A and B are shown apart, each in its own frame.
Chain A
Amino acid sequence: GNSVTQMEGPVTLSEEAFLTINCTYTATGYPSLFWYVQYPGEGLQLLLKATKADDKGSNKGFEATYRKETTSFHLEKGSVQVSDSAVYFCALSDLSTNAGKSTFGDGTTLTVKP
């Protein structure tokens, strides 16, 4: 079956540091890939997405590139802010084999200190 493996946390960075959160996946079809963010007490919000190989998703300074050859979708940001502190989830949705079903990683907690 499908699976998503995320870099274990927690991750603690100083403001303006560079962020990388690793994500690799296993899928039988041709999945779309997502990063969701969850702030305390809230539901998951879509951060960015990529629907095919070599696509780059970007939003709010975050980027991730769909790498089919390495089955990866690593999240990066050049300069983090305190407000980026949250839990980040990598996910895939394999529409070719199971419409609408998503698989999530276990999340990576990011804390950014001033």
Chain B
Amino acid sequence: EAGVVQSPRYKIIEKKQPVAFWCNPISGHNTLYWYLQNLGQGPELLIRYENEEAVDDSQLPKDRFSAERLKGVDSTLKIQPAELGDSAVYLCASSPRGRGNGEQFFGPGTRLTVL
């Protein structure tokens, strides 16, 4: 079974430029998460989807960040414009339908560097 796929793995951009990250969750997983991981810290939730619906986006900085999961499968996270402080690893995770036990399956992440 394929795991969570993310692309690109690395991205270097200049500040004020836009950037987008893509995630394809494990097949059949209805819940998708985007996390921000700063160096030396644990993941912090940006947004959580149940199918197409964003059910928790309270931590998403909506002035510059946006996300979509149009068909309830893959998802895109966008930053426009990027700022120096956005340099971090962006992790995508998924989990199966229903509450389960809370276990999440993570992708390898996209490491963003803003110059």
Residues of A within 8 A of B (CB): 4, 31-32, 34, 36, 41-46, 49, 51, 89, 91-95, 98-102, 104-107
Q: What are 7 A-to-B residue pairs whose CB atoms are below 8 Å? A: A43-B109, A44-B93, A46-B103, A89-B43, A100-B99, A101-B48, A102-B104
Interface size for B (C-beta < 8 A) is 27
Q: Does B106 contact A (CB under 8 A)?
A: yes
- Whether B106 pairs with A44 at a CB distance below 8 angstroms is yes
Listed from nearest, the 7 A-B pairs whose CB atoms lie closest are A93-B102, A104-B42, A43-B106, A44-B106, A32-B102, A43-B108, A95-B99
Interface centre among A32, A102, A104 (most CB of B within 10 A): A102
Q: Does B24 contact A (CB under 8 A)?
A: no
Assuming the contacts A34-B102, A95-B99, asked whether A41 and B45 have C-beta atoms less than 8 A apart, the reply is no
- Whether A106 pairs with B101 at a CB distance below 8 angstroms is no
Residues of A within 8 Å of B102, CB to CB, are 31-32, 34, 92-95, 100, 102
The CA of A104 and the CA of B85, in the complex, are separated in Å by: 21
The CA of A101 and the CA of B31, in the complex, are separated in Å by: 11
Taking a contact as CB atoms closer than 8 A, the residue among A36, A41, A43 that contacts B4 in the complex is: A43
Which residues 60-115 of B have a CB within 8 angstroms of A?
Answer: 91, 93, 95, 99, 101-109
Which residues 5-61 of B have a CB within 8 angstroms of A?
Answer: 6, 31, 33, 40-45, 48, 50, 55-56
- Please name the residue on chain A nearest to B41 by beta carbon: A106
- Whether B108 pairs with A41 at a CB distance below 8 angstroms is yes
Residues of A within 8 Å of B99, CB to CB, are 95, 99-100
The CA of A49 and the CA of B100, in the complex, are separated in Å by: 12
- Whether B40 pairs with A106 at a CB distance below 8 angstroms is yes
Q: How near does chain B come to A21, taking the closest CB pair, in angstroms?
A: 13
Assuming the contacts A44-B91, A102-B45, A107-B40, asked whether A51 and B101 have C-beta atoms less than 8 A apart, the reply is yes
